[in-house]
Amino acid sequence: MAIFATCMLVLITMHWGVRLSFEHGFVDYIKRGNEQRLNLLSDALADQYEQHGNWDFLRHNDRLVFTMLRSLEQNPDSNSQLPPHGWRTQFWILDQQYKVLAGPKSPVPPEGTRRNITTSNNKVVGWVIGSPPERLTRSTDINFDQQQRRTSWIIVGLSTLLAALATWLMARGLLAPVKRLVDGTHHLAAGNFATRVEVSSRDELGQLARDFNLLASSLEKNESMRRAFMADISHELRTPLAILRGETGSDAGWRAQTDAGSDRLATKRSGGADQAGRRSASAVAVR
């Protein structure tokens, strides 16, 4: 679960970063395209001003401005770096007295992009001002942005499914050897020292499994040595104890002729022999 949560955090962070970068980059692209169009329009207006000598040809003639724009965009020699057709922002054309010659009726934005209309003798006869593209306004740009947004979310969804599958496979690969080690530990704790676990990798878990098998082998060997030792002790004690029992039994015939102290000594010796015999039998039983 922690691995999947980490993958989701990385995916969401990447998606947010890509979206932010795209939105800023797309707006900057539109802004640069409009600036290039402003430059071309200011040069064309300067040529027209030199031909007419004043701005009378342009007053209340917005159609002429758009005709000039279309001719500029259709002319491949005007600027090969010009973006696709169409203005994304509003623009105004002002004369030397800052009077609006062409453009929308809304106020001219003071923070707009300004380009001088300069004649061949470096005389500024007006300005072209474009509003800054703070957001997308054209339907084609909005549709493109929405398409990119949908595509990015589809990519996030597919990446989430892929991350879930990868997490499941990784969890299986990690938990399976851990579960084998846990089960093996329970078997060792129960005294089953013949338990071994499968070594299925060369990583740290594989090394841990090999160490577990070495531990189990050592415990099994020690248990075998203990059983053999107990069996040897039982075998070595069995014969002397049998002799001791026989000697104790032979005393029964003359026990009545002895005094009370000797009788107690014989009884104590007989009881000790029986107790040692029982312990020897118990040692054999627990091997």
d(CA 51, CA 229): 122
Q: Could you please report the per-residue DSSP string of 67-124?
A: HHHHHHHH-TTT-TT--SSS-SS-EEEEETT--EEES-SSPPPTTSEEEEEE-TTS-E
pLDDT of residue 248: 61
Average pLDDT over residues 164-177: 79
Residue 83 pLDDT class (50, 70, 90 cuts): very low
> In which band, very low, low, confident or very high, does the pLDDT at 214 lie, cut at 50, 70 and 90?
very high
Alpha-carbon span 198 to 212, nearest angstrom: 10
When pLDDT is averaged across residues 265-274 and rounded to a whole number, the result is 53
Residue predicted with more confidence, 241 or 191? 191
Q: Which residue has the higher pLDDT, 108 or 78?
A: 108
- Whether the per-residue pLDDT at 84 is higher than 50: the answer is no
Mean pLDDT score of the chain, rounded to an integer? 75
The full set of domain ranges for the chain reads 2-141, 204-285
Q: Which CATH number fits domain 204-285: 1.25.40, 3.40.50, 1.10.287, 3.30.43?
A: 1.10.287
pLDDT digits over 12-46, tens only?
887 777 777 777 777 777 777 777 888 888 888 89
For residue 137, what pLDDT is reported?
56
